[in-house]
Structure 1
Amino acid sequence: MSERTAVVLLTRDLRVHDQPALASACAAFDRVVPLYVLDPALAGLSANRTRFLHQSLADLREALRERGGDLVVRRGDPVAETIKLARRVGAAGIGLSADVSRYAARRERRLRAECERHRMSLRLFPGVTVVEPGALRPAGGDHYRVFTPYHRAWLGTKVRDELAAPRQVRLPDGVDPGRLPEPPEGESPDAVPGGESVARRRLTRWLPTEAGYDDIHDDLAADETSRLSPYLRFGCLSPLAVVNRAGDRAGPFVRQLCWRDFYHQVTAGFPDIATVAYRRGATEEWRADEEALAAWAEGRTGMPIVDAGMRQLRAEGWMHNRARLITAGYLTKVLRLDWRPGLKVFSRWLLDGDVPDNSGNWQWVAGTGNDSRPYRGFNPVRQAERYDPTGGYVRRWVPELAAVEGKAIHQPWRLPPEQRRQLDYP
């Protein structure tokens, strides 16, 4: 009897532990080809994410080689390259983790059509979220529009079983694995390295601090959040595995993972979330001010807490979540500038920038999204005094103000004229 072969097209699921598509293929087929296709259409979006991706691919290749397999890397159109390789190895089927962005939906449609044409099966698997988008539906709707009822339903849902990493991965004979991509050109801080092995160590180190998460997660200067979001964005960590290890499914940390699931199911129901106001009847009366937008993006607005957040974004490819709310609120509610250019700035720099969470959070702050109180504002000075009371966060990222003592650092325009003149700060 001839051996059966499958191809697993990897996308945002770059891991071997609790990887349903890979685990199922290894259980059902004799030989499995784990494939990643570098799409030129995505290459120039973010040097930060490209660097993180390339590190994650190298780490995944090592993990697969330890199990007797390899990561096969190709460059080009993902659908064309996947079908080409599947035909080359005589694959009976292709496995793919289900995803929700417009890009992912188009890729799935095209791949399904090509599989039908070549008489191959295409099977979709969970794994990008804890609860699959579409698994929870309110009465009379295709997705939840408000978080609180979604959270209640989410807490009551029985999730799938977590899967062990396959013990062995066997490639067909004669498959060229291809070369890993080179590090990207351009600005990309290496403070947060990509890969499943780094992600699992980071999770293990952080979990003992989870009990204090509710007390500390908004403290800007303490910076004691998990910083797991880039690893979840690329699937270096299974969100289900994180929930299982966290233990308290109703706790404040796991609630953040529920928010992630919430925006994925919103995006599945509203694929235009990155470009079109989600809330029906949302008023969008934005000013046009390129100079103000540039000052905001570069961290030179003269509002210290905002500038600190934007400078952290550029320096680390990451920003504290409270600072994200403050900076986005400043752009949309204070400067009255459109949320879409702000979303693009975040998308360029963020390691964890993805369509559902990045877009959903921007629309929430701008008042065009899922917030039940769309006219709420974020007073940046009050936010700074509450979440950075001693000014430690601002001093870290706005060194021009390091000599200003206490909470006066949050309103330098109120300093005596002589002291203001000594500051090299807008």
Structure 2
Amino acid sequence: MDTAIVLFNRDLRVHDHPALAAACERAGQVVPLFVLDPSIPGDARHGFLLQCLADLRASLRQLGGDLVVRQGDAVAETMKLAGEVGAAAIHASADVSSLARRREARFAEERIEFLRHPGVTVVPPDALRPSGGGDHYRVFTPYWHAWLRHRHRPVLPPPHRVRLPSGLAPGRLPRPGTDPAMPGGESAGRERADRWLRQFLAGYADGHDDLAGDRTSRLSPYLRFGCVSPLELACRAERSEDFVRQLCWRDFHHQVTYAFPRINRENYRHRERRWRHDRDALCAWRRGMTGLPIVDAGMRQLLAEGWMHNRARLIVATYLVRRLGLDWRDGARHFFQHLLDGDVANNSGNWQWVAGTGNDTRPGRGFNPLRQAKRYDPAGAYVRRYVPELADVPGAKIHEPWRLPSLPAGYPARLDGTDG
């Protein structure tokens, strides 16, 4: 009986999983595998990941299988397991980061069939090419139009059954040291998607920038770990062009990263600014102690929840690179360390967009964080939620505490020394 391995990476689900579906269709026995690689830092995502894996194991057991867990180098451990079970093929979801591409290249050198499948994005990152030439789209709007015209693959149901080879030890799954702010796993992700699509999708266009209202989906961590299929989500949300456009932005950054895998360490536009190097300023920004309330609220939300409102991300990133003049890579590293949804493509792509080194067609673009605060948090409720020192500051003055006779106790003066 043929045996195949399905190597899970950023696709921790059983619904709409092309690699798992193909393996179950072609092979009599299927080994679902996840390799915990100790060389990859867990950061804030480790607890979330372990909850995702526990949920995936439960789902596979309901289908008659199990999740086999090994620790070590992903390629070495997969090949070792392939030898033990006599696997004829390895199935995996294709990814775009330099780490993932190196891993795929190593598998291609082994004497076993290695099959890459879609599933990490709505549209595969190499599926769309500009009509004028080039290996990827550099500007979003033309990509958006091509993306809308693309014929999607069908959304796949879970396999009816996963038949595991007999006598195979599944391995121990570590327990999370601390619980993440959001529960991990496909079950939690699908439940959140069902509830949010039903209650809030219709108002997304009007409410997604409302900082205090918090009406965004918060599905990004589940998309990052593949607990929710981006294609299934796009199909279910098709009546909201604004929300689907955000999924397209995610795909856009993935196709850029596929073409430029050094995006997390090198400028996409080969032009380097003269960045300031101020460790004290960077530390104050990381801690949410800049003296600009809207920035501090966003940074403290990140530390408390492992997540930040999308409008706040834009504000705090702009403040770091435009007002403080600090290197976008410093900000990207901090985000990547703390965000549950931190991935190379979206994190680095968005930071480079803000810094003017990426895909923004107006690289000199800038905006005023204080005006953003007054527009998207007019009553100051978002700031009060995350900056308790300012809880008693009246009205709109919460965005400008330096105009008070004295600053609230424990709150710093403006880091950048400006007055607006």
Query: Which TM bucket (shorter chain)?
Result: over 0.9
State yes or no: 1:99 paired with 2:95. yes
Q: Partner residue of 1:323? A: 312
State yes or no: 1:174 paired with 2:167. yes
State yes or no: 1:148 paired with 2:141. yes
CA distance in 2, matches of 1:296, 1:111: 41
Residue by residue over 1:159-183, the C-alpha shift from the partner in whole angstroms, topping out at 9 and shown as x without a partner, is 1111000111010011100000221
Q: CA RMSD in A?
A: 1.0
Q: Partner residue of 2:85? A: 89
Q: Partner residue of 2:48? A: 52
Matches within 5 A, 1:337-352: 337-352=326-341
**Match of 1:18, as an amino acid?**
D
- Deviation, structure 1 residue 423: 3.2
SS of residue matched to 1:16: coil
Q: Partner residue of 1:266? A: 256
Residue by residue over 1:362-418, the C-alpha shift from the partner in whole angstroms, topping out at 9 and shown as x without a partner, is 000011100011111131100100000000000000010111111110011111x2x
SS of residue matched to 1:312: helix
Q: Partner residue of 1:227? A: 218
State yes or no: 1:386 paired with 2:375. yes
**Match of 1:159, as an amino acid?**
H
Equivalent of 1:129, from 121, 140, 153?
121
Residue by residue over 1:329-387, the C-alpha shift from the partner in whole angstroms, topping out at 9 and shown as x without a partner, is 00000000000011110011000000000000000001110001111113110010000
Q: Partner residue of 1:40? A: 38
CA distance in 2, matches of 1:140, 1:242: 31
CA distance in 2, matches of 1:196, 1:257: 18
Residue by residue over 1:21-45, the C-alpha shift from the partner in whole angstroms, topping out at 9 and shown as x without a partner, is 0011111111100000001111x34
- Deviation, structure 1 residue 244: 1.1
Q: Partner residue of 2:234? A: 243
SS of residue matched to 1:276: coil
CA distance in 2, matches of 1:251, 1:210: 10
CA distance in 2, matches of 1:71, 1:194: 16
Equivalent of 2:193, from 203, 208, 213?
203
SS of residue matched to 1:50: helix
State yes or no: 1:23 paired with 2:12. no
- Conserved 8 A contact 2:208-2:214: yes
CA distance in 2, matches of 1:285, 1:343: 17
Q: Tell me how many residue pairs correspond in the alignment.
A: 410
Structure 1 unaligned segments of length 5 or more: list them.
none
CA distance in 2, matches of 1:251, 1:422: 43
Distance change >3 Å, CA 266–CA 24, structure 1 → 2: same
Equivalent of 2:343, from 344, 354, 359?
354
Structure 2 unaligned segments of length 5 or more: list them.
413-420
Q: Partner residue of 1:277? A: 267
- Deviation, structure 1 residue 421: 4.5
Q: TM-score, normalised by structure 2?
A: 0.96
Q: Partner residue of 1:366? A: 355
CA distance in 2, matches of 1:63, 1:105: 28
Distance change >3 Å, CA 422–CA 225, structure 1 → 2: closer
- Deviation, structure 1 residue 266: 0.1
Residue by residue over 1:36-77, the C-alpha shift from the partner in whole angstroms, topping out at 9 and shown as x without a partner, is 0001111x341x211110000000000000011000000001
State yes or no: 1:108 paired with 2:104. yes
- Conserved 8 A contact 1:23-1:165: yes
Distance change >3 Å, CA 373–CA 382, structure 1 → 2: same
**Match of 2:244, as an amino acid?**
V
Equivalent of 1:332, from 321, 338, 342?
321
Q: Partner residue of 2:411? A: 425
- Deviation, structure 1 residue 232: 0.3
- Conserved 8 A contact 2:390-2:408: no
CA distance in 2, matches of 1:255, 1:222: 21
- Conserved 8 A contact 1:189-1:317: no
- Conserved 8 A contact 2:401-2:407: no
SS of residue matched to 1:41: coil
Distance change >3 Å, CA 172–CA 45, structure 1 → 2: closer
- Conserved 8 A contact 1:189-1:315: no
Report which stretch shifted further, 331-340 or 376-385: 376-385
- Conserved 8 A contact 1:131-1:261: yes
- Deviation, structure 1 residue 315: 0.1
- Conserved 8 A contact 1:189-1:316: no
- Deviation, structure 1 residue 422: 4.4
Q: TM-score, normalised by structure 1?
A: 0.95
Residue by residue over 1:88-111, the C-alpha shift from the partner in whole angstroms, topping out at 9 and shown as x without a partner, is 111111101000000000000111
SS of residue matched to 2:146: helix
**Match of 1:82, as an amino acid?**
T
- Conserved 8 A contact 1:217-1:223: yes
State yes or no: 1:214 paired with 2:205. yes
- Deviation, structure 1 residue 136: 0.3
Q: Partner residue of 2:417? A: none
CA distance in 2, matches of 1:176, 1:189: 27
- Deviation, structure 1 residue 189: 5.7
Q: Partner residue of 2:415? A: none
- Conserved 8 A contact 1:264-1:356: yes
- Conserved 8 A contact 2:389-2:408: no
